[in-house]
Amino acid sequence: MELLHSSKRAVAIPERDGPSLARLARKAIVEALGGPACERIDTPGFDEPRASFVTLTLDGKLRGCVGSLVPPASQAEGILRHARAAAFEDARFEPLRREELPRLAVEVSLLSPLQPLACSGEEDLLRRLRPGVDGLVLDLDGQRAVFLPQVWAELTEPRAFLAALKRKAGWPITFWSPRIRAWTFTVEAWRDEAPAAPGQGPEGAGFLQPARHWQRLPDGRLRCQVCPHHCALREGQRGRCVVRQRIGNRMMLTAYGRTSGFCVDPIEKKPLHHFLPGSSVLSFGALGCNLSCRFCQNWHLSRSRDLGLLRDRATPEAIAEGARRQGCRSVAFTYNEPATILEFVSDVAEACHARGIATVAVTAGYLEDAARRDFFTHLDAANVDLKAFSDDFYRRVVGGSLEPVLDTLRYLVHETKVWTEITALLIPGLNDSEGEIRRLSEWIASDLGEDVPLHFSAFHPDHRMLEVPPTPGATLTRARELAREAGLNYVYTGNVRDREGGTTRCPGCGRAVIQRDGYRLLDLNLQEDGTCGHCGRPVPGVFGTTG
């Protein structure tokens, strides 16, 4: 199979016709399983040469993927062929069965011309790769492997991405040869979701809601402006967060009112140690995230593309009323990134505030300015995950960048009344050096203030980091010491049993004002006005009513 020469011109499929490609692929599979004959599509642009792949997922998991790097003589015929091959000829899977059709999602990817990637070696190739953007082809003497850009959603770090591609080619992950040739490419992709039962789809169930913060580009695409990824979407395409999708000429939130379930938690579990301590919070989440952390503990929700995982539906009023009945003083948006569903968050917050219930977000803070101001307007408290104090870590491990998160923290502390605390997950060997902990702590003290609470949390292996050991307790203890030396008054440890690391002490007299054992409040020695019960020094936080 010859590779497409980089000088070939890719002919863009008209925007209105893109989703028809995914529907065409599904029809080809249905026909092969005894369904109606698949009619030939005669839409202008479909017969222009462009390489393509068809990817099938079942309940959010890969079920087949077949394509070609050579443009077919007929675009439509190529997609029909790839769809049938993905369903019935992918050697990694059993042939698709008729009963699986109702749960099958079909995605068609059209490739740009391949661009040769001239590099001096493996490290140079890793530096040149653009996570989340580039597909990659490797070839050595005709032995070849390809990854579509969509693979970055699971393998966010370039080294892991390249290692997996080498395994796919049949080479050891440590192998490299100067004779290896590499090409990169980008894709346009359209997805046809699994058909919903009558009245159960997003629209029938009332899950669709017009989205805010987007603009129309000169080329007709719609650009989402919620986060710095700036996903530019054609008809039917979803952003990296999954839940924001272009439908017609509007950007839509497809998860309005969808939830993954509810749980009553102690507020200390968020963690928030200076916001209504000892109270209960009604926690719930949805699906989708605009980052792709390799260590995510909720990856089955945050990284899934299967909206069917969210079976529960709840109105803002029902959530607020449920919190009131459970005796919760607040509602927390957590488990996934709540900023991706900011329209739902704002409506829930309004319903909560009408009943005297506070609202809390556990967020990565990866937002653009206008969306940031919109999102936090509706909240009373937030815990922001500061995942590292290194832009390189954000790029390689979580698929983002550091500065927008720092901007979010500056905005929260200096421009809002939102009570703000910070969590830093310490991962052995990646972001737990004393130098980085000092820099992080000094930045908080100088840019945000010495009274902003900081939680150092222990890492436990999960998702794509099963090989990394848990964080030793000594690392957390030392991090707490370093942060206090940097001038921070309130530093805590989490995900471990550490009574002293959970205790709030008055910076004035040094005596305990709040004692905790894990998430359990043992003693509260604060006056009603939030001052130390021993010396009268003010302790920052929200300790009384939230109204």
> What region does 154 belong to: left with phi over 0, alpha with psi -120 to 50, or beta?
alpha
pLDDT reported for residue 307: 45
User: Per DSSP, what are the bridge partners of residue 184?
Assistant: 115, 136
Which residue has better confidence, 42 or 227?
227
The arithmetic mean of pLDDT across residues 353-373, rounded, is: 95
pLDDT at 202: 45
pLDDT of the residue at 405: 97
pLDDT in tens, 179-188: 999 999 988 8
Mean pLDDT of 68-88: 90
Report the C-alpha gap between 249 and 541 in whole angstroms. 44
What is the distance between the alpha carbons of residues 14 and 229, in angstroms, rounded to a whole number?
Answer: 24
Neighbours of 72 (CB within 10 A): 18
pLDDT at 17: 59
Distance, CA of 239 to CA of 57 (rounded, Å) = 17
> Rounded to an integer, what distance in angstroms lies between the CA atom of residue 437 and that of residue 456?
10
Sheet with strand 232-233: strands edge to edge:
214-216, 222-224, 232-233
Arithmetic mean of pLDDT over the chain: 86
What's the token pair of residue 266? 């102690």
CA distance 254 to 238: 10
Longest Cα–Cα distance in the chain? 82
DSSP letters of 358-393? Answer: EEEEEE-----HHHHHHHHTT-SEEEEE---S-HHH
Helices (H), 263-310: 299-302
| DSSP helix/strand/coil, 29 | helix
Alpha helical stretches, state H, 203-361: 299-302, 316-325, 342-354
CATH: 3.30.700.20, 3.40.50.1820, 1.10.10.60, 3.30.930.10. Which one for 15-189? 3.30.700.20
What is the pLDDT, as a whole number, of residue 73?
81
How far from each other are the two terminal CA atoms of the chain, in whole angstroms? 68
pLDDT for the residue numbered 4: 30
Tell whether the model's pLDDT for residue 520 goes beyond 70: yes
DSSP per-residue letters across 35-82:
-S--PPP--TTTTS---EEEEEEETTEEEEEEEESSPPSSHHHHHHHH
What are the phi and psi torsion angles at 252 (to 5°)? Answer: -125, 145
State pTM to two decimals.
Answer: 0.67
20's enclosing H/E stretch is helix 18-32
Residues 6 or more apart whose CB falls under 8 angstroms from that of 436 comprise: 388, 389, 390
- Predicted confidence at residue 541, as pLDDT, reads 95
Q: Is the confidence at residue 59, as pLDDT, over 60?
A: yes
How do residues 142-166 score in pLDDT, each as one tens digit? Answer: 899 999 988 887 777 889 899 999 9
Mean pLDDT of 424-450: 96
What is the chain's Cα-based Rg?
Answer: 25
Q: Return the SS3 of 218.
A: coil
Query: What is the pLDDT averaged over residues 11-24?
Result: 63
DSSP 278: T
Confidence of residue 237 (pLDDT cuts 50, 70, 90): confident
Model confidence over 86-137: pLDDT tens digits? 999 998 899 999 988 888 889 899 898 999 998 899 999 998 898 878 899 9
Contact indicator for 474, 456 with CB cutoff of 8 Å: no
DSSP secondary structure code for residue 108 in this structure: E
